[in-house]
Structure formats: structure tokens, C-alpha cells
Amino acid sequence: MNEAAVSLGSDAAKLIEKAKKQRRTKNLIKGLLFLLPSLVFFSIFLFYPMIRTVYLSFFLTNASGAPTVFVGLDNFAQIFSSPLFLKSLKTTFLFVLYTVPGTIVISLFLAVIANEKLRGIGMFRTIFSSTMGISVAAASVFWMFLFHPTMGWLNQFLSIFGVEAIGWLTDPKWALLSVSISTIWMNIGFTFLILLGGLQSIDSYLYESADIDGAGYFYKLRRITIPMLSPTLFFVVTVTLINAFQTFGQVDMLTRGGPQNETSVIVYSIYRDAFVNYQYGTASAQAVILFVIILGLTLLQFKLGERKVHYQ
């Protein structure tokens, strides 16, 4: 009797085990089917190109980009001894240095003042986020006129104070700064929207209890708002940083990398080498460098972020 029960029990357990296994296999197939479209597209348009870029960076290529002669690390040696590429690296880092803090500080300021419950605040929020809907091409056209040496608003405004006209886009001293200013403007919409969302999700209870303790506006800003906002800030810094390294459109429209290559950021340099000069090998080597920079930054951000960011 007992034995029978035991054997029945173990049979049932076996059956259940088998059913579970079947279910898991079924789920695996189903899961892969649901993921298949994304995986296929990622493979063709992201993983393969990345590997292919690394591969191409070791070769000389013909005009259509097919590899011809294996040259090892020569392409890398070449770009790192090319003053043009070194300058474009320096330009890219300067551009990042100008645009990332600028974007974050201005957007944070806008998000803080737009987070108050005031009549008509919706209109202000809409205006602040509006640059998100303005494309790089359109924004460049707008700023091109603002920067116009004689008719542009900026120089007209300066002339009121008797300041001499500035060659915003033609003077090598100013060009990168001008492109950066227009970029910050383009970035504000998205960054503002995300930061405002972050501010709104902070528990109002925290402010209420601070009010009871008689805390001042800036004390609350420093002790509640900024720490509670840190995950959001962390996210927008990462996105802005990565976007800055991938800048292309405004450079192509506003300056074409000039004057004297002052605004030739790395993606513009890749574009010019590959699609204007047909030097796919060296262009790929530059793309590899760009990839390494972005990978490194992302990993660094994750590492630092884990430690410093305060999660609710």
C-alpha cells in the first residue's frame, strides 16, 4: 500500500517535472519567436555593422568600400598622426564640454521654475519643451540667420551697445562656440521635459515636512530637490553626453566643419572621410575610436552612477 503510494507519488512528480520541462521548452520557443524580429534587425543593422566597422578598420578599401589590402593597425597609426583627426578629437571634447553642462544647467533651471503651481504654467512648459519638436535642419536654418554677420539679430543687438560685429560662424575663435550655443538650444526641449517629469515625481510630503521645519527655498532645493532628482539627472547627463559625441547635422548645415576645421567634430570627420573622400579604412578606424569613447563613457557612468545616485 505504502509502496504503491510512493511509486504513484514519484510517478506524478515525474509527470509534473516532464510537463514543466515541456512548458519551459515551449516558452523558450515562444519567447524567441516574440524576440526574433528585434534580434534579426539588431543583428543586421547594429551588431554586424559594428563588427564590420572593426574589420574594415584593418584594411585599405576601394572606392565602393570593399576591403582590398590588410594593413593591420596602419589606419589607426595614420589617424593618430593626422593633425586633422587629432584636431577633430579635441574639437569633439571641447564641444562636449560646452554643450553638456550648458544644456543641463539651463534645462534644470527651466524645470525648477516651471515646476511651480501657477496659473498659465502649462503654456510656459509647452514653450520650454518646444525645441524638442524642431529638427536639426530647421534649427540650423533659424540659427544661421541669427548668426548672420550683418542682418542677424545677435550682431544687431550687439551693435546697440556699440560692440563690433562678430563673425559667429566664420571666425575660427567663435565658430565652435556658436555651434555649441545652437546645440544647447536644440537640446533644451527634451532635457527640460525629462527633468520636469523627475521633479514632479518627487513626493510633496518631503517639501511639506521641510516647510514645517521652516526650511528656506534654496535649502530645499539643495537638500531635497537635487538629491531626489539625481536618477533623472544621471539619465539626462548620459543621454546629452552621448548625443554630443554623435553630433552631425548642425555642423553640416552651419559650418561644414569650417572655418579651418574648427568645428569638424568626429562624426563629421567620419562622414567626410567615408562619403566625400572614400577613405573607408581610416573612416572606420575613426568610427572604432568613437565607439570606444562612447562605450567607455557609458560604463563609467554606470559605475559612478551606482555609487552616487540616490534612488527613492
Residues 130-169 interacting with another protein (rule: CB under 8 A): 130-146, 150-151, 153, 156
Smaller CB separation from another protein, 11 or 41: 41
Number of residues that bind another protein (CB under 8 A): 94
DSSP 164: P
Any contact of residue 129 with another protein (CB under 8 A)? yes
Q: Is 284 in the site for another protein (CB under 8 A)?
A: yes
State yes or no: residue 68 binds another protein (CB under 8 A). no
> What character string, x for contact with another protein (CB under 8 A) and - otherwise, covers 29-58?
-xxx-xx-xxxxxx-xxxxxxx-xx--x--
Contact between 62 and 68 (Cβ < 8 Å): yes
Grid coordinates of 125: 512648459
Q: Does residue number 125 form part of the binding site for another protein (CB under 8 A)?
A: yes
Place of cell 559625441: 245
Q: Please confirm whether the linkage preceding 83 is cis (ω < 30° from 0).
A: no
- Decide if residue 267 touches another protein (CB under 8 A): yes
Residues 94-123 that bind another protein (CB under 8 A): 109-110, 113-114, 116, 118, 121
Under the criterion CB under 8 A, does residue 221 sit at the interface with another protein? no
Residue 65 as a binder of another protein (CB under 8 A): the answer is yes
Element spanning 61, H or E: strand 59-61
Q: Which is nearer to another protein, 80 or 109 (CB)?
A: 109
Residues 241-260 that bind another protein (CB under 8 A): 242, 245-246, 248-249, 252-253
Asked if 287 interacts with another protein (CB under 8 A), we say yes
Per the CB < 8 A criterion, the answer to whether 272 and 248 are in contact is no
Q: Is 115 exposed, middle or buried (0-12, 13-18, 19+ CB in 10 A)?
A: middle
Q: Which stretch binds another protein (CB under 8 A): 74-82, 87-95, 191-199, 218-226?
A: 191-199
Q: What whole-number distance in Å separates Cα of residue 69 and Cα of residue 60? A: 5
Nearest to 210 by CA among 192, 193, 228: 228
DSSP 255: T
